[in-house]
A and B are shown apart, each in its own frame.
Chain A
Amino acid sequence: MHQNLKVSSLVGSLLVAVPLTLGLAGAATAETTITAVMQAPLRSLDPVITTAYVIRNYGYMVYDTLLSVDANGDIKPQMLEKWEVSPDGKTYTFTLRDGLTWHDGKPVTTDDCIASIKRWAKQDKMGQVMETLTTSMDKVDDKTFSMTFSAPTNIVLRALSKPSSLAAFMMPERVAKTSPSEPITESIGSGPFKFVASEYKPGVQAVFVKNQDYVPRKEPPSGMAGGRVVKVDKVRWVAMPDAMTGINALKNKEIDFIEQAPYDLLPILEQDKDIQLIVAKSQGGQPIMRLNQLIPPFDNKLIRKAAMAAIDQKAIMQADIGNPKYYATCGALFGCDSTYASVAGSEDLIKAEPEKSKALLKEGKYDGTPVVIMHPTDFANAGGSFVPVIAQQLRQGGFKVDVQAMDWQTVVTRRASQKPVADGGWNIFTTYLSLADITDPLSNYTVAANGKQAWFGWPTSPEIEKLRQQFATSADAGELKKLATEVQKLAMEEVVVVPLGEFSVVAAAQKSLKGILNAPVPVFWNIEKTKD
């Protein structure tokens, strides 16, 4: 009996243990994959050559940055162990942390970082300012390098930590030596994910696998800073040209995540108990109106001010977003809730003042020539949805308006023309900027006012440029705030750019995804995919 009991116990144990073991083994080897639909399909792979947001997001998967900004806006080390500043505030010495390797297994060295900074600084607007102040960049050893500037400044910290286009991604030296106007052809980074080139189909899908060799920081994640701990095996970005298909696929559990769910389809998702909506304010954007200051009538400040007086932000944001839950009216050029937020000089923007606009037009001797506004009918957030509203407001303000419908790519081409309207030029175009791109007078390239060197619209204001230069060389928080407010005031006075409000992005995900970070850029570290 005893023997029988032993035998039966053994058999029973086996019966329980074998399936359990098999089950556990199965669970251990089951691959967790997040399938995500991003805001645009990935079609190219150089995050330094372009400011396209999807390529920036790809950059954060594959590459790493020396510094990053946490949820409070503080600058933190990322690839760095530490940095030191010389007593005169002119020299910064950076030390890389241990365990950094490229995806091909080679160690990350200071030569790689120096080459990467040089290539990035040629392209990035803040990097270009930093470059003008840089007197030398020297290797100390394989893990340490220094940068010396002509004046005391902390621009290097602000530039290398800024989260958005163009983020200062580190690349192997041989890749970073590529000319900045020539796209790189390799996807070798040192970031938390590895890019699977063999599964890449431009415009269709991009696949990333967990970088098993990545050593994350020990600190908890916060904003873009802290440990970039990957908790899934694979992330698949799939393109879905039809928004409704994406929503249906999410509801049918064929995908896990939509980076930007269309506002008009949100009610469908709100009713689904298995789906979570994430209002990502920091990933939101600021629609803007840009006036061409090289040619009449907007070469006249009074007429620019008339256009600003004609604007009613609420009507525009209602047409753009529709649901007040996801937008705000605000005239702050550097973001309504940012460190440098100021609404100075933007009083005329919030509510339309057609009579004031008409008076300014009269004073400015507007001759009634129609102003050409480009209407990108295929790109809602860039103006497709709200240009007709702007046109009507301008008409009510006394302007004659010629709305020209075209696709976004034609706008992108035509806005580069500095010629008169009759020769293919333009007077007004609209677009939007990611909030992560506009946080201060250097990163917000729309306030640059150095004439033909400035962004499309080419405003000229030596005072603004002087303030921006001072902003670049200052390191005092109080002074920086004061300078930013001055830029805001002057930019509004000169109508360098017309902000039209601010909107939040709404991401949609299966509830089985836990740990989605509220960062200024959609990131895939820290996300777990549970079975429920």
Chain B
Amino acid sequence: MLLIILKRLAATVPVLLVVAVVIFSILRLTPGDPAAIVAGDGATVQQIEQIRHHMGLDQPIPVQFFKWIGDVLQGDFGTSLISNLPVKDMILDRMGPTIAITLYTVLYTVIISIPVGIISAWRRGKAVDKVVTAGSVLGFSVPVFITAYVLIFIFSMGLGWLPVQGYRPLSEGVWPHIKHLILPVASLGTIYIALVTRFVRSSIIDTLGEDYIRTARAKGLNERSVLIHHALANAAVPILTIIGITITMLIGGVVVTESVFNIPGLGRLVVEAILAKDFTIIQALIVLFSVVDIVINLVVDILYKVFDPRIES
């Protein structure tokens, strides 16, 4: 197993190199000049040139690339072109909210969607299944910002139970931390619960048609054992896949939720950096997202083996 992990990790090197080259090239080829942004609306062409020179953006692109890649290999992601702060610190600052929101959304999704999906599959065609199916369709059809505004309207503006916006780290207390994340997680969770529930339902339905389920029932096992130990265990692989995808989507893709609830996470950081053409931050974040993606896929692959020993190494 260790050898497999090492092999997979080694295979990430060329992937990351391709990501680095592509993102670096795209940023230089698309319009937008960080020097003009730093200089502001009233700057002249000459002032912008001076700032560009100071940023090193007037150097040939290959020179800029090799300097950047050399620094990254030494663990230095450089400084932000706009704020002049170390990129590493800025990313670490924004990581907390993203990890929290990802973790809670995944937990919330798993806790709700797996039992609901199982029940829906078990009661296929019955009233409960129809309600779950309709709820799932609604869940992923409604855009997240609509859900977010409705929840804010009810729970913040109406009932006054929860704050409209903001983020508090765990260090400021458990309740303030949780209180600020209930609505964002509930809004985001709606989509993922709908998605995962449908996935769990269809995977269980597929499994329930297998011969070994019939055998288990013929042996006299009760339905709970059949569902949990036979159906769910065998449906775990596709469910793990969708949960893995959910995590990768959450890490960098919750910009709308972060904006509506004013959560300073990585999604917002990457969008702000793109709008401000802050090359160093964009490059570092895209590489980071790629690493996270690769690691999550690796973990999911390892878990496949745990849940289904038949899967070849």
Contacts and interface: CB of A to CB of B under 8 A. Distances in A.
Contacts of A406: 31
Nearest to A415: B36
B165 interface: yes
Contact of B45 (A254, A409, A414, A416): A416
A410 B157 contact: no
Interface string B44-83: 1111101101100000000000000000000000001011
Contact of B260 (A182, A239, A245): A245
A445 to B, nearest CB: 6
B261 A245 contact: yes
B183 to A, nearest CB: 11
B101 to A, nearest CB: 15
Interface in B214-268: 259-262, 264, 268
23 contacts: A44-B38, A44-B82, A45-B84, A49-B38, A50-B40, A51-B39, A180-B50, A183-B38, A202-B85, A202-B90, A203-B272, A205-B264, A240-B262, A242-B262, A245-B261, A248-B156, A248-B164, A249-B165, A252-B163, A254-B165, A406-B31, A413-B33, A445-B42
A123 B157 contact: no
A406 B30 CA distance: 12
B31 to A, nearest CB: 4
Contacts of B152: 248
Interface string B268-308: 11001001110000000000000000000000000000000
Given A44-B83, A49-B38, A410 B32 contact: yes
A248 B151 CA distance: 12
Contacts of B272: 41, 43, 203
Nearest to B260: A242
A245 B83 contact: no
Contacts of B43: 50-51
Interface of B: 31-33, 36-48, 50-51, 53-54, 80, 82-85, 90, 93, 149, 152, 156-157, 160, 163-166, 259-262, 264, 268-269, 272, 275-277
A202 B80 contact: yes
A201 interface: yes
Q: Specify the main secondary structure of chain A where it touches its partner.
A: loop
Given A51-B40, A52-B41, A254 B166 contact: yes
Given A202-B80, A240-B165, A248-B165, A50 B39 contact: yes
Contacts of A202: 80, 82-83, 85, 90
A59 to B, nearest CB: 13
B37 A254 contact: no
Interface in A222-268: 238-242, 244-245, 248-249, 251-252, 254
A49 B39 contact: yes
A24 interface: no
A431 interface: yes
A165 interface: yes
B84 A185 contact: yes
Contacts of A41: 272
B41 A431 contact: yes
Contact of B31 (A203, A410, A453): A410
Contacts of B268: 203, 241
A301 interface: no
Interface in A184-212: 185, 201-205
B157 A252 contact: yes
Contacts of A239: 262
B84 A44 contact: yes
B264 A455 contact: no
Given A50-B40, A251-B157, A181 B51 contact: yes
B124 to A, nearest CB: 41
B33 A165 contact: no
Given A254-B163, A406-B31, 17 more contacts: A44-B38, A49-B51, A51-B40, A52-B40, A165-B40, A179-B54, A181-B47, A181-B51, A202-B85, A203-B83, A203-B269, A240-B262, A245-B260, A409-B32, A409-B277, A413-B31, A431-B41
A422 to B, nearest CB: 16
